[in-house]
């Protein structure tokens, strides 16, 4: 059980880092920068004056997926903490893993949508809020992988109950 608990601890830590990066990415207005200023999912700032961005479908889908990814990621992290504090069965670990993978999928959807919207614009450069979203993606996926625990249980059972050695026939 020591290896499984260590992996769960690592999964909780990675999901915490992923959630912090997702919240930071969602809440800040530095997704893109241009000559006059910068913009995010919610506001656009030009020459130090910020205003709300009018509703655009692609931007609304990106923002919705980011908010859902944060929510699902937090639920996955809380489930992981609950498993860690109380001896959880593997089904809960797999559910936690599914939540973290779903958060990663929502995050990937949001980031690809935003990239497609802005990749071909001239004089627009992606900035640190956008890149922190991309940085959260592998952390979320790795956290989901560490929480699954299925492979660790199978390996532990094989090492705990070794087969009897076969003696050659004489």
pLDDT of residue 157: 56
pLDDT of residue 21: 96
Please give the structure tokens belonging to residue 167.
Answer: 């003696």
Phi, psi of 28 (to 5 degrees): -100, 160
Per-residue pLDDT of the chain (170 residues; tens, 9 = 90+): 577 777 878 888 999 999 999 999 999 999 999 888 999 889 999 988 888 888 888 889 999 999 999 999 999 898 888 877 776 555 677 888 889 899 999 999 999 999 998 888 888 899 999 999 999 999 999 988 887 765 555 555 555 555 655 666 65
pLDDT of residue 169: 64
Pairwise CA distance, residues 151 & 143, whole Å: 15
pLDDT of residue 140: 92
Pairwise CA distance, residues 114 & 92, whole Å: 33
CA atoms within 13 A on the CB side of 28: 18
Which pTM value belongs to this model? 0.81
CB 78 within 8 A of CB 92: no
* Sheet architecture: strand order including 32-33: 49-52, 43-46, 37-39, 32-33, 125-126
Domain boundaries, the chain: 2-155
Which overall architecture, per CATH, does domain 2-155 show? Answer: Up-down Bundle (1.20)
Q: Which residues contact 52 (CB under 8 A, 6 or more apart)?
A: 42, 43, 44
Pairwise CA distance, residues 162 & 33, whole Å: 60
């Amino acid at each position: 059980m020591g290896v499984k608990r260590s992996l769960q601890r690592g999964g909780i830590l990675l999901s915490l880092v992923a959630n912090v990066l997702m919240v930071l990415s969602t809440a800040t207005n530095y997704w893109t920068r241009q000559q006059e200023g910068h913009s995010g999912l919610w506001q656009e700032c030009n020459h130090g004056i910020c205003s709300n961005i009018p509703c655009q479908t692609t931007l609304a889908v990106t923002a919705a997926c980011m908010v859902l990814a944060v929510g699902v990621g937090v639920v996955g992290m809380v489930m992981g903490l609950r498993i860690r504090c109380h001896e959880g069965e593997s089904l809960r670990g797999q559910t936690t893993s599914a939540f973290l993978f779903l958060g990663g999928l929502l995050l990937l959807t949001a980031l690809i949508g935003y990239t497609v919207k802005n990749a071909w614009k001239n004089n627009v450069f992606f900035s640190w809020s956008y890149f922190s979203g991309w940085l959260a993606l592998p952390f979320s996926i790795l956290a989901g992988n560490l929480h699954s625990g299925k492979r660790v249980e199978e390996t532990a059972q094989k090492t705990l109950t070794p087969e009897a050695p076969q003696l050659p026939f004489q």
